[in-house]
Structure 1
Amino acid sequence: MVEINKIILTDAIPSIRSIESDSIDLIVTDPPYFVQAQGTGGGKNKWNGGSRFKGGNSVFGVENSQDKLFNYVNEKDYMSEFSRIINPSGHIYIFTNDKNLTRMINEAEKHKLKLMNILVVDKIQGTYFSYYQKQVEFILFFRSTKGKAKYINNCGMGNLFQYRYTRGKDKLHPSEKPLELIEKLILQSSNEGDIIFDPFAGSGTTAIACAKNNRNFICYELEEKYVNIANKRLKNYGYSE
């Protein structure tokens, strides 16, 4: 039996297999995809495929980020499982960037997840890049095709959002997302009492959004440091470790 309303310290990929089929009402997640170090030219930009960043001054607004280690997860490792565990009318939101967008869509559609829209988040402040600053992030919005399509709760909402992302020393996690943004997605595609899944929970923003809005959650996180941060945040909403 998978525990709910707890940040679980585990490797998401093998752990997803223990979740019952069709049991998750909504998936909201920001997987660790390929990212590019923000260099200043001269051939310093390098792809991160689970290795240390080479060159550049900051990634995601984190100073000295070339010392941060990110483990890249291939979308082939989780898309089939997302399709299996999502309920027949469930929605899935996956954060990505321009470099990974097409590949993620292609892989999702292999597993009968239908792309309904691409949401764009204007982060207001750009991240340095030699060929125009990176100022937007994408959210791929899929639905399961196992059952009848379900509408979002507010069909009049546009697909362009604007949120200022936390930067520098105030960040709890290198790829931290604004709480209000995650809340918006959860409120659009779930109801009170639903089970929301985030296999790459980071500092627990999805869990916090669920706790604030009477949703249940299953959250996995690989790094103990961030599990501790997430659990500390959850204590403010009456949850214990």
Structure 2
Amino acid sequence: MKEKAYYCDENSHSKLVLADTFNYLEKIDAESIDMIFADPPYFLSNGGVSNSGGKIVSVDKGNWDKIDSLEKKHEFNRRWIKLSKRILKPNGTIWISGSLHNIYSVGMALEQEGFKILNNITWQKTNPPPNLSCRYFTHSTETILWARKSDKSARHQFNYKIMKERNGGKQMKDVWTGSLTPKREKTWGKHPTQKPEYLLEQIILSSTSEGDLVLDPFVGSGTTCVVAKDLGRRYIGIDENKSYLDLAIKRLENVK
């Protein structure tokens, strides 16, 4: 597909695109993507408050994180997941991250659109923000669903040996523990839902090979692309927020 990129990385044949995710996904060639990682909106912007660095802050992140109803939220998820299935290679896989506010809709949408869920990864955060209301257990985990097309002939890639080596010679389990995004990864600016690089490194290493093409349809500050570049993979990142893409570009240009 030929379309002007907002940022083009000639060395790795990769790019960032300033566009509406739905519109751009429709233009990507069918069965051309090896792996998709998506961190879609959690739809948490409802006027509430949270804790950040010991301070009470608003949970509102922007219009992109707002939705009118449960039905519209599920329609949103089914639509982008359906488009993702078309562009994913027969043996490719999709990873989707989310909190309890959206991940159950995502799981249902995956099955409705013809995916088989392979794993339910629990990302356990070692330093979650405290619960201000003291009326719930502290939210310290997120779920990452890993899926492939439900076609029985599909043989998804899983780099079992690499994951075993990273886990001290033992089979890696579906609970991954680590900290929230460290400050050093926010040197060039902040994104409200930025994922830590170690998380994407594990995902990309587990299910791709060097030279594969990785897509992030809600790329934000570009963590997926930064890690893909560092690991020798090609990437496409899509976002309709120019300031987030500018932040992603700064990070990409400083990958060693």
TM-score (norm 1): 0.83
1:203 is the counterpart of 2:221: yes
1:12 is the counterpart of 2:32: no
Using the TM superposition, give the Cα deviation of residue 163 of structure 1 relative to its aligned residue in structure 2, in angstroms: 1.6
Q: Decide whether aligned partners of structure 1 residues 195 and 61 sit closer, same or farther in structure 2, where only a CA change above 3 A counts.
A: farther
Distance 1:179 1:167 in 2: 9
Aligned-pair identity in percent equals 30
Q: Decide whether aligned partners of structure 1 residues 150 and 66 sit closer, same or farther in structure 2, where only a CA change above 3 A counts.
A: closer
Instruction: Show the counterpart of 2:196.
Output: 178
Instruction: Show the counterpart of 1:166.
Output: 181
Higher deviation after alignment, 60-69 or 12-21: 60-69
Structure 2 residues without counterparts, runs of 5 or longer: 6-12, 66-72, 162-170
Stretches of 4+ aligned residues off by more than 4 angstroms: 59-63, 167-171
1:149 pairs, out of 155, 164, 175, with: 155
- 2:253 maps to amino acid: K
Instruction: Show the counterpart of 2:254.
Output: 236
Distance 2:55 2:115 in 1: 34
Instruction: Show the counterpart of 1:224.
Output: 242
- Aligned to 1:91, the other structure's residue is in SS state strand
Q: Decide whether aligned partners of structure 1 residues 107 and 205 sit closer, same or farther in structure 2, where only a CA change above 3 A counts.
A: same
Higher deviation after alignment, 60-69 or 81-90: 60-69
Q: Decide whether aligned partners of structure 1 residues 103 and 66 sit closer, same or farther in structure 2, where only a CA change above 3 A counts.
A: closer
Structure 1 residues without counterparts, runs of 5 or longer: 36-47
**Would you say the 8 A contact 2:92–2:157 is kept in 1?**
no
Instruction: Show the counterpart of 1:56.
Output: 49
**Would you say the 8 A contact 1:61–1:168 is kept in 2?**
no
User: CA deviation digits over 1:119-155, x for unaligned, max 9?
Assistant: 0111112234431110001101101234422241026
State how many pairs are aligned.
222
TM-score (norm 2): 0.79
- 1:166 maps to amino acid: T
